[in-house]
Structure formats: structure tokens, C-alpha cells
Amino acid sequence: MAQVVGMEVSLAIAEAARLANVDVISAYPITPQTHIVEHLADLVANGELDAQYIPTESEHSALSACLGSSAVGARTFTATAGQGLELMHEVVYVASSMRLPMVMVVANRALSAPLSIWGDHSDAMAVGDTGWIQIFVENGQQAVDNVLCAFRMGEDQRVLLPVMVHVDGFHLTHMVEPITFPELEEVDRFLPPYKHPFPLDPDKPVTMGAFGMPFIYTETKKAQYENLMASKKVILEVWEEFGTRFGRHYHPVEGYRNEDADVLLMIMGSFSETAMETIDRLRAAGRKVGLVRPRLWRPFPFDEVRQMTKDAEVLIVVDRAISLGGSGGPLCALVKQSLYHEDKKPEVVSIIGGLGGRDITIDGFEQIIDRGMEIVQEGSDKSGFEFFGVRE
Amino acid sequence: MPKKNDNELTWKDLEIGNIVVEPGNASEYRTGDWKTELPEFDHEKCNKCGLCFIYCPEGCIQNDAEGWFVADLYYCKGCGICAVECPKDAIKMVGEEEE
Ligand code: SF4
Ligand code: SF4
């Protein structure tokens, strides 16, 4: 029987990797990811997890070690955050382009400067286009469940891609939450052993990561794109099967009291749980507001976003990152793209908030909704965005 | 992979992640295409010391049945390192068209 345990989410994520029976963990500790890899190091050192733990001198090396590990057919796990993900950046592209499955938990953290160890989605947004499957989670249970799903998705022979699971730094990683852990045998039935079709093997040599001449580079990128888009089918299958086996259901985009809402709020990650409180409060006051929470960040669920937002009058998208001098809110930009060709679509308002660890409270989300509606009523600068809570 | 010319391969023809599944096929790659100059060996000066063989970064210099060192022009990139390193000044780089 599955058991419920009160546990810090970071440790629960490490326990999920243990349940997935990972073969190799390579990581470099960085706040706020540290507890995840510390706990895994403990598990390996104590003989509770039969895996190789490769401590490296940098994140660049950590992810490089993961490439090699996945390439020989070992189930591979890593975790990082903020600057660590930035230092990995070069290798992040390599892992997906070489079709090497692995799971990376990102304890989302703001990017320097100024130095901030606190959470936002800047690190995730900086790797949006790197070709990984990417999932945002909102609480500890979802983190555990989606780490397990991530292995299954990425290692599927039709997919063979690395998967990132985004977990808000501190706001989620350092919370103690009740978590339902599946039994090891249940996980084993859900998660078959990983096999790469062309692993590095001295008896059957292959070359991985060879250079690509101009005559072939475009074709490789097209193949990579098609493969990532086709992974969506498997992602849905895996979530469906997980739901059947474990009773917890996941979707590319999830809603909360959104069906008849005139005004929709959208946000990714753990802040959505606070936003739900706001929605409840406003609903109790008779306002037709709802929440839309994208979970699958890549491949981006354009169709689902369109379906779930097109009938609202106002859609307020909150980004916890900023595209400087570009789109403003990276999530909002994709939402607008989803809706561009629709005849009937909501007015879309882009809000940037929750940067560098700053909370958005229940009252804060109410202010964001009110301000969003005000912007629409005033008809002011719909193409731009506003910072929430910035001191002028 | 079906045998097509390089320029005919479509994205569907590629192995996953562009993995090369045929071992050792880098030997088919004609790096000799890169050169504009090629080494000419002067047997009057050469003492068969083999330094050119050691220094050639392409590993394309071998000695023949009589012990003379020759460059395999299928691979020689024309870098000229052999000519610089030869202690007997026995190698001259000449333009390809002068060949
Ligand atoms: S380095 Fe010069 S002298 Fe020595 S073998 Fe080569 S060509 Fe002859
Ligand atoms: S020119 Fe360069 S590549 Fe060619 S034989 Fe001499 S050293 Fe080797």
C-alpha cells in the first residue's frame, strides 16, 4: 500500500529518484537544489540506493557526465538551479540533440545580477528552446509523481529525450508536505528498465555527437523538432497510465474554476496554489474568475491553451521571469501566439511578478486581477506588460 | 541507413540523434579536399628519418616498400607541418594546380 509521509519536498524528490532506481546521479550542489542531491548522496553512501554518485567540479561537468551515463544505457538523474543551469547551458542543448534521456529537476531560481538565491522562473525561461521536455509542478506530490513520469516519458523508445521538472526554489523545495509514495514494486511495473537502441558499447561501436556539415544540419534540426512534437502523444499516454495506476491525473494545461469564467488568471508553478485561494475568495464574492495553469512547458500546449482561454473576456498572464527588451513575459508571448488566429479571443494582459523570491500573496493576486481588468477597461498599452508590485 | 548520397538524405533518413552506427566510417571522409597545397618529397635530400611521419597531424604519411615517406593525398590537409619539421628541407609545399 502506498504510504503518506510528511517530508521536505527536496528529500521527497530524491526519494522519487530512488524509487525510479536510478543508476547514475551526477550533480553539483547549488542553492536551492542542494538538499535533493545531498539526500541522494546519503542514500548512495548508506547503501540504500545502488547507484553511482558522480560529484563534479561544476554543473557543466555534471551534465556532461550525465550524457555519458545515458549514452551507455544507464538511468540518469541530475538536479540544478539558477546559475547552475546557466553554466550547463551548452550541454543542455547537447543532451536533447543527441537524444539522451535523463531527468533533471530544476529548483527554479533567479539569475544574477544581483545575486539572488531565491526563486523565480528566469532559469527555466533561459532554457525554453533547448529541446527538452519540460514540466512545471505546483506541490511536492506533483514533483514526486512527475519525476517518475519524466523517466517513463523520456526513456520511451519513441521519445528518447531528456526531461526537466521545474520545482520552485524554496517556495516548494524547502516546504514540508504530506507526500504519498508508491511502493517500489508499483513503480517497477510503471517504469520498465531503460534501454537505448544504440548504446555506447565496445562490442558494437557507434559514434555519438559527431560533427554535422551544412548539408545535414538543417535535417537534424527538423528531425529533432518533429521528435519533440511527437513526444506529446507519449507524454499524454504516460500521464494517463500514471493516473490509472496511482489515481493522480496530470494534463498539459489544468484549470481551476475556469469553465464559466469571464476573467482568467494564468500562472505556472507553485504560486498557482496561492492563486487558487484568491479565486475561491473572489468566487465567494460572486465574481466569475478562474485560473489556468500550464503544466507542460515544452512542447508548449498551444491547442490546450487556446481551448481553455479563448472564451474568456480577459486573460491575465503572470510571468515570474522577464524577457528583457523582448516579449516581456515569455509565457504570455506563447499564449498570445496560441490565440493570434482566433476570431473570438480574450484581451490578454501581461504581468511580471514574483521575481527573485518575492511572494505574490492571496491579496496580491486579487490586485493583479483588478489591475488586469483596469488595463483592459482603460484600453492602455495592450501590447506591453506591467511589473506587479514594483515601487515607483 | 539507406544508401543515398549525402545531399539526398532527408530528415527521416537520419539515425536518432545523428548517431553514426557504422564503425570507422570516418576513413571515408576525404579531408584531402581541404588543401590548397600539397607536400612534394625530394628523395635527393631525404634521409628517411621519419620525422614527417611523426609530426603529420593527420597521420597520413606512411613509408613505402623502399622506406620513402609519402603522403596519402586523400587525407592530407595541406597544413605544411611536415615541410616545416623536415630537418633536411626535403619537403616543399606546392600549389595543387601545379601538381
Ligand atoms: S622528415 Fe624529411 S628527411 Fe625525414 S623522412 Fe620526412 S621527408 Fe625525409
Ligand atoms: S601537409 Fe600536413 S597533412 Fe599533409 S602530409 Fe604534411 S603534415 Fe600531413
pLDDT in tens, A50-84: 999 999 999 999 999 999 999 999 999 999 999 99
Chain-chain contact of A206 with B18 (C-beta, under 8 angstroms): no
Euclidean distance between CA atoms A3 and A183, whole angstroms: 8
- Interstrand relation of A163-168 and A133-136 (parallel, antiparallel or unpaired): parallel
**Ligand 1 centroid from CA B45, angstroms:** 8
Residue A381 has pLDDT above 80, yes or no: no
User: Which residues form ligand 1's pocket by a CB distance below 6 Å?
Assistant: B 41, 46-52, 69, 86, 88, 90-91
Residue A86 — φ and ψ, nearest 5°? -65, -40
Cell of A135: 514540466
**Residue whose C-alpha cell is 550533480:** A27
Point out the ligand nearest to the CA of residue B61: 2
- For chain A, give the percent of residues with pLDDT over 70: 99
CB atoms < 10 A from the CB of A306, how many?
Answer: 18
Q: How confident is the model at residue B26 (pLDDT cuts 50, 70, 90)?
A: confident
Point out the ligand nearest to the CA of residue B47: 1
Chain-chain contact of B17 with A97 (C-beta, under 8 angstroms): yes
Sign of CA dihedral B4, B6, B11, B15: positive
Whole-number pLDDT of residue B98? 52
Partners of residue B26 in chain A, C-beta under 8 Å: 207
For chain A, what is the mean pLDDT?
97
Cell of A258: 475556469
Helix (H) or strand (E) holding B62: strand B61-63
Question: What 3-state class would DSSP assign to B14?
Answer: coil
Whole-number pLDDT of residue A178? 98
Whole-number pLDDT of residue B1? 47
Nearest to A121 by CA among A271, A293, A253: A271
**Ligand 2 centroid from CA A365, angstroms:** 69
Taking residues A229-257, what's their average pLDDT?
98
Residue A150 has pLDDT above 80, yes or no: yes
Å from A154 to nearest chain B CA?
14
CB A13 within 8 A of CB A36: yes
For the ranges A109-123, A132-146, A183-197, A371-385, the lowest mean pLDDT is seen at: A371-385
Taking residues A216-226, what's their average pLDDT?
96
Ligand 2 atom nearest the C-alpha of B81 is 7
Give A256's strand partners. A291
* pLDDT digit string, tens, across residues A183-193: 999 999 999 99
Ordered by start, the domain boundaries in chain B are: 31-95
User: Which residues form ligand 2's pocket by a CB distance below 6 Å?
Assistant: B 39, 56, 58, 60-61, 71, 76-82
Nearest Cβ partner for B17 among A98, A205, A216? A98
Point out the ligand nearest to the CA of residue B90: 1
Give A134's strand partners. A164, A298
Euclidean distance between CA atoms A296 and A291, whole angstroms: 16
Å from B25 to nearest chain A CA?
10
For the ranges A122-131, A207-216, A289-298, the lowest mean pLDDT is seen at: A207-216
Ligand 1 probe mutation, B42, B44, B48, B70, most atoms within 8 A of CB: B48
ipTM: 0.87
Q: What domains lie within chain A, and their CATH numbers? A: 3-246 (3.40.50.970), 255-387 (3.40.50.920)
CB A146 within 8 A of CB A345: no
Residue B99 has pLDDT above 60, yes or no: no
The CATH fold of domain B31-95: Alpha-Beta Plaits (3.30.70)
CB distance from A3 to chain B under 8 Å?
no
**Ligand 2 centroid from CA A213, angstroms:** 23
Residue A1 has pLDDT above 90, yes or no: no
Chain-chain contact of A100 with B17 (C-beta, under 8 angstroms): yes
- Interstrand relation of A24-27 and A314-319 (parallel, antiparallel or unpaired): unpaired
Helix axes of A214-246 and A82-97: crossing angle, nearest 10 degrees: 110
Q: How confident is the model at residue A225 (pLDDT cuts 50, 70, 90)?
A: very high
CB A268 within 8 A of CB A106: no
* pLDDT digit string, tens, across residues A299-356: 999 999 999 999 999 999 999 999 999 999 999 999 999 999 999 999 999 999 999 9
Taking residues A149-166, what's their average pLDDT?
98
- For chain B, give the percent of residues with pLDDT over 90: 81
Whole-number pLDDT of residue A253? 98
* pLDDT digit string, tens, across residues A160-181: 999 999 999 999 999 999 999 9
Partners of residue A198 in chain B, C-beta under 8 Å: 15-16, 19, 21
Partners of residue B24 in chain A, C-beta under 8 Å: 205
Chain-chain contact of B17 with A197 (C-beta, under 8 angstroms): no
Chain-chain contact of A197 with B6 (C-beta, under 8 angstroms): no
Whole-number pLDDT of residue A383? 67
Å from A368 to nearest chain B CA?
44
**Residue whose C-alpha cell is 515569455:** A330
